Structure 1
Amino acid sequence: MPALIPQLEPPKDADPIAAATIQLLEQVRATTEWYTNGDSSASSFIDFSGYRQLQEWAKNPEALNVIDKILRARLGLPFPYNQKALILVQLIPEDKLAPYAPLLKPLVESSPDSTSAYTYATPFIVTLATSLHSLADGQAKKTEAKKKEDEEKVKWNSWSEVYGKSRADWVGLPVDNGGVKWGWWAGEPIGVEEWWKNRNIGE
């Protein structure tokens, strides 16, 4: 009986989809780095066709991650890297802008008269930085609030495991109190007069 031909796994590079993805990401990286390089000449700034190409690539989550990492690194550098990156920050979805808040702040505070590393600021750059920083700061606050809420839930669950849950399993009122100004009575919002009338029941 002839020996069986061993079954070998095909090399990973043989997957055309994987190879195409790698090639795309390399192209995205090279293009993003090129448009955020250290050439300060006006012709080196991104043009409309280049922006539209990156905008199309940014629809791919993997490509967006590549662009995101490069922009964060470039924003920490002086002119012209940071200003070139600032223009491309517009490609980043609003829900991913939270980490950009501290990175954009120096550009918000810069001015045409600045003598810091963030020189050559123009009204356009300051206005764009201010707008994007406002969005990023809002997202950062939402992220922090969500983190705090999750921590409170973890603490509540830990406490409940030790002492048991209340009948209502009530963690606490939300930040805006759910529109209720005077708390809860038997799980339902009550009016000021009813709360005052029944405040001593059960004592």
Structure 2
Amino acid sequence: MKFSALFVLASLASCSAFAPQAAFSTKMSSVTQLNMAYELKAEPEGGDEIEAIATMDGSRVKNMGATGDKDSDSGEDVYTFWLKAEADGAMIKGFRVQVEKDASKNANFPGFRKGQIPPYAQPQMTMFALQEGIIKTCEAAVEAYGLKAISGEAGSVEVHEDVKDICKGYKVGDNVEFTATFKAIVDPEKKQEEAVDVEAEEVAAEE
């Protein structure tokens, strides 16, 4: 789930030629494009909706069931989760500003003075900022719903909307709604804390 837009763009900007390329570490599937807007992929049937243990506005998570695997680190059961969330526009804007600032330090495009970012590179920087915002939102959701990401390729997130489609009608500063699926475990520490809280509530009710 890790991704460094700053590193990728700085590397591109230092090249003598600019060739747009995919830099997102997660898997993406295409989505229908209608009048410069994108559509969210339909919510999957089934699954059990789970409650957040920390406030995360505009988000929903469903447990779609166990994968049959065990986490190599904790030995906990691995589950597949479906997520619907909204990446904060202010956060994305912050990434966009930082991406351009860092890239301009090493920018060296033919026909432009050193440090200047040409217009045709601007959409790529917006895409990087969107990608980073989506990843950070996924990480926040894992924490907010009492889950724990698993290491390695198995812990990657599949975002169902295509960032290229989102970028076509996107204005920097707007929130971005998306859906995704990922594999994770129920955080053992948070599960234990929840069990203690439930027990305390039961004792209080009896008293």
TM-score w.r.t. structure 1 length? 0.29
Q: Please state which structure has a larger fraction of its residues in strand.
A: 2
Larger radius of gyration: 1
**Larger relative helix fraction:** 1
Relative contact order: is structure 1 or structure 2 higher (C-alpha 8 Å, sep ≥ 6)?
2
TM-score by length of 2: 0.29
